[in-house]
Structure 1
Amino acid sequence: MTIVLMRPADAQCWIFDLDNTLYPASCRLFDQVERRMGEYVQQLLNLEPDAARTLQKQYFRDHQTTLNGLMIHHGINPADFLEFVHQIDVSGVLADERLGQALERLPGRKLIYTNGSVRHAENVMARLGVTRHFEGIFDIAEAAFVPKPDIMAYRALVARHGFDPNKAIMLDDMPRNLAPAAELGMTTVWVKTDVSWAQPAEQTHYIHHIAENLADWLHAVTKDGSKA
C-alpha cells in the first residue's frame, strides 16, 4: 500500500463508481445485468445460452466491457444495448440513510462515473435516496463509449467537469479502474467486495485506501479528517 497522496478532508471533488460501489455487491444487481447481457448476445447472434455467456465473458475480458466488444465486432447500437441490459429489478437496493448522511458531510463536489447509463444510475440513486448529493453523472455515452479503465475516458471526465485530479478522490469496486485515476494524480479508494473478478492484481501501488464498507469509511474520514 502506498502512502496516501492527499487527506480526504482536503478533497475538492469525489468521483464514485455506481455498481457494487455506491450500493453493496450483496444486492446482486450486476447478476441481473450479466444475465441480460447474455440474453442480448444470444438474441443478437442466435446462439445457445452457454455459447452466448462464453462470448459475453470473452468480450468483457478482451475489451473491458461486453458493450465495447459488441460495438467492435458487431457494430451494435450502444443505446439499444444499454436500454436492454438495464431493464432489471432494482428493488433489492434499499434506502441508505447512513450513506446519505456521510455524503452530506463530505467536502467538495460529488460525481458519479459509471460504465453504465445515466438512466440506470438515476434508478439506483433514487432507490438509495442519495440523488440530491450528486451534481452530475458521467456515463459510458458521455465518455463516447470508451470504457473504464481506458485513461482517455478519465481525461474526458476531468475535462467535462473541470476539476483538478490532484484534488480529487475516486472510489471504485474494480481495482483496475483505479490505476488510471492514480496515474492522473487522483487519490484512490478500493471499495472491497467478495466478487471474484473484482479483486486486485498483485501490483496494487495505485490503491491508496481500502473501504470494507463505504458508509463506514466515509463517516470515518469526515469524523477525523484523514484515513490511512
Structure 2
Amino acid sequence: MTTITKAPRSFSHIDTWVFDLDNTLYPHHVNLWQQVDQRIGEFVGAFLGVSTAEARRIQKDYYLRYGTTMRGMMTEHGVRADDYLAYVHQIDHSPLQPNPAMGAAIAKLRGRKLILTNGSTDHAGKVLERLGLAAQFEAVFDIIAAELEPKPAPRTYQKFLRDHAVNPATSAMFEDLARNLVVPHLLGMTTVLVVPDGSTEVVREDWELEGRNAAHVDHVTDDLTGFLQGLSAKA
C-alpha cells in the first residue's frame, strides 16, 4: 500500500535522502524497539524507585512531551545521557534480517544518503550492520550530534542540515512518526511517512500511528523497499 496526499512534493529534484532508523528502515512488526522500550521502563523505574506501572506512565509522558524519555529524565531528574543510552540499547538485534532488496534500491537513488535518528550511533551501527545497509549511508546524525535535543525540536534539524551541508529544498525525509515530519516539511523537504503494513500486531502508542492525512506528510507507504524501488525505477 502506498498512498499520496493532495499535491505532494515530488522526488525529481532530490539529491539528498535522509532516513530515520528505528521502525523506518526495518518493519514495525519486528518490534525491535519494543526491547528498547522495555529497557527504558526498567531504567526509569530503577532510577526513580517507582513501580513498573508508574515507571511506564512517566516514560510515555516524557516521550510525548520531550521527544524522548531520555530528554525528560535529563530535564526533570538530572539523568546522565551516557548512562541512559548505555542501558537502554543493550538489546538483542538478531530479529533483524539482511534486506538486500532495500540496499539495492537505496544504492540506485541518486545523491547522498544520511541517517537522522534519536538513537545513538552505536545502536544505529548495529542495526545497519544487521540489515546489510551500512555501506549505503554516508553518515549517522545521532542524539549526541544533536546535543541531546531530540526530534522534533527545530534546532535539531537545523543543526543536522548545517553539520552535513544539506539543502532541505532538494532533500527527502523518511520517518515513522508524523510529528517528526512537521519541521522537515516546513523547511522544504519532501516527506514520507512509513507506517505498519497491518500484517502483524505492532506495539505502538495511538498517537504514534496518527498523522497519515496531515498536510505536512507528502507520501505514505507501508512498504519502504517497494517504495524505494519505485523511485529507483523512475530515476
Tell me what 2:201 maps to.
none
**1:14-29 matches, cutoff 5 A:** 14-29=17-32
Q: 2:173 aligns with which of 164, 167, 170?
A: 170
Number of equivalenced pairs = 224
Q: CA deviation at 1:110?
A: 0.2
**1:201 to partner: Cα distance:** 3.7
The answer to whether the aligner puts 1:217 opposite 2:227 as a matched pair is yes
Runs of 4 or more consecutive aligned structure 1 residues displaced over 6 Å after TM superposition: none
Is structure 2 residue 199 aligned with structure 1 residue 199? no
Q: Output the CA distance in 1 between the equivalents of 2:211 and 2:193.
A: 12
Q: Which residue of 2 aligns with 1:2?
A: 6
Cα distance in 2, alignment partners of residues 168 and 93 from structure 1 = 27
- Report matched runs for 1:79-90 at 5 Å: 79-90=82-93
State whether structure 2 residue 82 is matched by structure 1 residue 51.
Answer: no
1:137-157 Cα deviation digits (max 9, x unpaired): 000110011111111100000
The 1-side partners of 2:211 and 2:230 are apart by 27
Match of 1:40 among 29, 40, 43: 43
Corresponding residue for 1:100?
103
The TM-score with structure 2 as length reference comes to 0.92
AA aligned to 1:2 is K
Gaps in structure 1 of 5+ consecutive residues: none
Q: CA deviation at 1:80?
A: 1.1
Which residue type is aligned with residue 212 of structure 1? D
For 1:136-188, what per-residue CA distance to the aligned partner results, in whole angstroms no more than 9, with x for missing partners? Answer: 00001100111111111000000000011000000000000001000111000
Q: CA RMSD in A?
A: 1.3
Identify the residue that residue 80 of structure 2 maps to in structure 1: 77
Shift of 1:94: 0.2
% identity of equivalent residues: 37
- Within-5 A mapping of 1:147-186: 147-186=150-189
> How far has the Cα of 1:11 moved from its partner?
1.0
Provide TM-score, normalisation by structure 1.
Answer: 0.95
